[in-house]
């Protein structure tokens, strides 16, 4: 499955948020994960969620889109939206992917999204990821991961040296690992294909631990392993 870019809209105008949401919904490679009415709301959300693309309104009360852009994770892409043409220079000084002038047509929206794609694709070459654990962002090399287990409201990542607990969802981690040597075998488990020592139709064994293959994932898992 092709990776969908996770999008967040930040705009104090309800109509503007609705228009952008409708554009994102009908664009195949985009997924709207949050629509925020101000920068403060976006700041809270970005603490615990990975975002690929922000659609930022520049002229907002209290915290402007330009101010928010300066503290957004540098791995994320920014597309500014505004009703004021004069902001364009400031927007591109912050290395925005594009600058959309309201009212925004769908054709112009798609042109902006196309500018994001090549940069996004290059990021998939990373061999590591960062997750929040113990009040800090911890680097985890993909090669060290044995398997990942979802436990209620948190996720436990088992590596060759230790286990790490984070409040990220297993689905979010699955997206981070997309294109790597990992496979989802159960709603609660993701495993490293390279670390599998044996498997049956019901279980996968890693590091002397048997992990269940759920009925809903069985066909895709067995097909994937047969191709290895």
Length of the chain: 228
pLDDT digits (tens, 9 = 90+) for 109-128: 998 998 885 444 444 456 88
For domain 128-227, give the CATH number. 2.40.50.1020
pLDDT digits (tens, 9 = 90+) for 45-94: 988 888 999 999 988 988 888 888 888 877 789 999 988 766 554 544 55
Where along the chain do the CATH 3.40.50.2300 domains lie? 5-123
Query: How far is C-alpha 46 from the geometric centre of its chain's CA atoms?
Result: 11
Where along the chain do the CATH 2.40.50.1020 domains lie? 128-227
pLDDT of residue 2: 52
CA within 13 Å, CB half, 30: 24
Better pLDDT: 62 or 33: 33
Contacts of 134 (CB under 8 A, 6+ apart): none
pTM: 0.53
User: Looking at the domain 5-123, which fold is it?
Assistant: Rossmann fold (3.40.50)
Q: Yes or no: say if 170 and 188 are a contact pair by the CB < 8 Å rule.
A: yes
């Amino acid at each position: 499955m092709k990776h969908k870019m996770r999008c967040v809209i930040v705009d104090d105008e309800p109509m503007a948020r609705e228009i952008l949401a409708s554009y994102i919904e009908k664009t195949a490679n985009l997924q709207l994960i949050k629509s925020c009415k101000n920068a403060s709301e976006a700041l809270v959300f970005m603490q615990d969620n990975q975002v690929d693309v922000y659609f930022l309104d520049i002229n907002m009360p209290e915290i402007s889109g330009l101010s928010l852009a300066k503290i957004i994770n540098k791995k994320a892409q920014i597309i500014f939206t505004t009703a004021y043409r004069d902001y364009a220079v400031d927007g591109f000084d912050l290395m925005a992917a594009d600058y959309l002038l309201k009212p925004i047509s769908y054709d112009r929206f798609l042109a902006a999204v196309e500018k994001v794609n090549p940069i996004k694709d290059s990021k998939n070459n990373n061999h590591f990821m960062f997750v929040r654990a113990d009040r800090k962002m911890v680097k985890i090399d993909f090669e060290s991961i044995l398997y990942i287990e979802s436990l209620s409201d948190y996720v436990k990542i088992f590596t060759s040296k230790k286990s790490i607990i984070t409040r990220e969802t297993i689905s979010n981690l699955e997206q981070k690992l997309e294109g790597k040597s990992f496979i989802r075998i159960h709603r609660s488990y993701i495993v490293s294909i390279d670390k599998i020592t044996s498997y049956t139709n019901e279980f996968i064994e890693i590091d002397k631990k048997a992990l269940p293959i759920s009925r809903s994932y069985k066909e895709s898992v067995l097909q994937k392993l047969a191709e290895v």
